[in-house]
Amino acid sequence: MSIALVTGASRGIGRAIACALAQSGHHVIINYAGNEAAAQETLAAVEATGGTGQTLRFDVGDEEAVTAAIKSILAEHGRIDVLVNNAGISIDGLLMRFKLDDWEKVLATNLRGAFLTTKAVARPMLKARQGRIINIGSVVAAAGSAGQPAYCAAKAGLEGLTRSSAKELASRGITVNCVAPGFVDTDMTRALPEARREAILGEVPMGRMASPDEIAQTVVFLASAGAGYITGQVLGVNGGMHV
């Protein structure tokens, strides 16, 4: 059975990705940073699809923790076929007032985390001569977003990491791609003031937000055999917001 590791899978888009991959036949490793109850909810959702999974707690920004986690997966399953770098945080603030500590926190999870996990899975994937690495970016990497300097920079960096990794790993049958969602209907966007939500929808030609499952199904495709000749690409799933 194919083994898929999804980072930041305890809620939102990560949970949807875990469920969709499980439903398509992958055994899913559900990574989470601290909310064990939410991770268990994801596991229950995975099992409700008829799939299989397990939870694994580690901080993607901690090199030692990432190395130990990948070793434990390989010891138990002998392989990692799919890595989805979904873990991310956002700390908002205007550039001139943005704290360096907040900048470091955002980049540690959103960019360094993806680098560390990609580096850790690359060796076993190279030995296997196959693998799928899928990074979850954002439309703001290309479009920008006032008040989110660290988040935008991290997501833009993730696109660069995607392209560089793809060129290095392609000859061994490993693809590396990035899914860049626009606005997605999650707990975070539901908490926005109604006026802000309406303003957001005004920027989207399709007139609605994406569902988490629409992002997840894009990931499932990129993880499939049918996407074997697609690598180094950023696939926008944004309802026409940025074309």
Residues pairing with 133 in the sheet: 83, 176
Measure the CA–CA gap between 14 and 165, rounded to whole angstroms.
22
Q: Over the stretch 160-211, which tens digit does the pLDDT of each residue have?
A: 999 999 999 999 999 999 999 998 988 777 777 788 788 888 889 998 999 9
pTM of the model: 0.95
Per-residue tokens: 73: 């997966």
Cβ contacts of 239 within 8 Å, gap of 6 or more: 182, 183, 204, 205, 206, 207, 208, 209, 210
Q: Which among 230, 216, 225 has a CA at the least distance from the CA of 23?
A: 216
- CA torsion sign for 137, 240, 224, 49 is positive
Share of the chain above pLDDT 90, in %: 83
Which residue of the set 151, 158, 165, 216 is catalytic? 151
* 151 catalytically annotated: yes
Residue appearing with tokens 């399953």: 77
Measure the CA–CA gap between 104 and 126, rounded to whole angstroms.
31
Domains and CATH numbers, the chain: 3-182+215-232 (3.40.50.720)
Q: Over the stretch 32-76, which tens digit does the pLDDT of each residue have?
A: 999 999 999 999 999 999 999 999 999 999 999 999 999 999 999
